[in-house]
């Protein structure tokens, strides 16, 4: 099995910065995805990391440390529409994406 650990819930203020952490243990490693999922909707792709370091994409950045089994998603200049669940999904050496239970982020005015 795969162990993926993310905080269950987080709250942050509009305009602020929030970091969502994810630790994982997988049998083999073939990259890590972050997805965003609004309530009642499908997950949508945010980022992919396969090498150590930071990948920046607009207001969203994602970091990976393979040796530590650790990733984080950084959201800057938070907007109300960023209220959603954020899913960490490491990929093992085969085909499978292994999804964490997700972090529910609430952005408040």
Partner 1 sequence: IAGITQAPTSQILAAGRRMTLRCTQDMRHNAMYWYRQDLGLGLRLIHYSNTAGTTGKGEVPDGYSVSRANTDDFPLTLASAVPSQTSVYFCASSAGLAGSDTQYFGPGTRLTVL
Which positions touch partner 1 (CB under 8 A)?
Answer: 30-31, 33, 41-45, 48, 50, 87, 91, 94-97, 99-102
Distance CA 13, CA 77 (A): 9
Closest separation in Å from C-beta 15 to partner 1: 29
Minimal distance, residue 17 CB to partner 1, in Å: 25
Nearer to partner 1, 10 or 97 (CB): 97
Return the structure tokens found at 41: 């909707």
Q: How far is the CB of 35 from partner 1 (least distance, A)?
A: 8
> CA 97, 75, 4, 28 torsion: positive or negative?
positive
In DSSP terms, which residues pair with 72 in a beta bridge? 21, 63
């Amino acid at each position: 099995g795969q162990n993926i650990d993310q905080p269950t819930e987080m709250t942050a203020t509009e305009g602020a910065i929030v970091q969502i952490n994810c630790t994982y243990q997988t049998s083999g490693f073939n990259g890590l995805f972050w997805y965003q999922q609004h309530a009642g909707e499908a997950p949508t792709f945010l980022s992919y990391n396969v090498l150590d370091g930071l990948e920046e994409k607009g207001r969203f950045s994602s970091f990976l440390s393979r040796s530590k089994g650790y990733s984080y998603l950084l959201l800057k200049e938070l907007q109300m529409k960023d209220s959603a669940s954020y899913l960490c999904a490491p990929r093992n050496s085969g085909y499978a994406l292994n999804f964490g239970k997700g972090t529910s982020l609430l952005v408040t005015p």
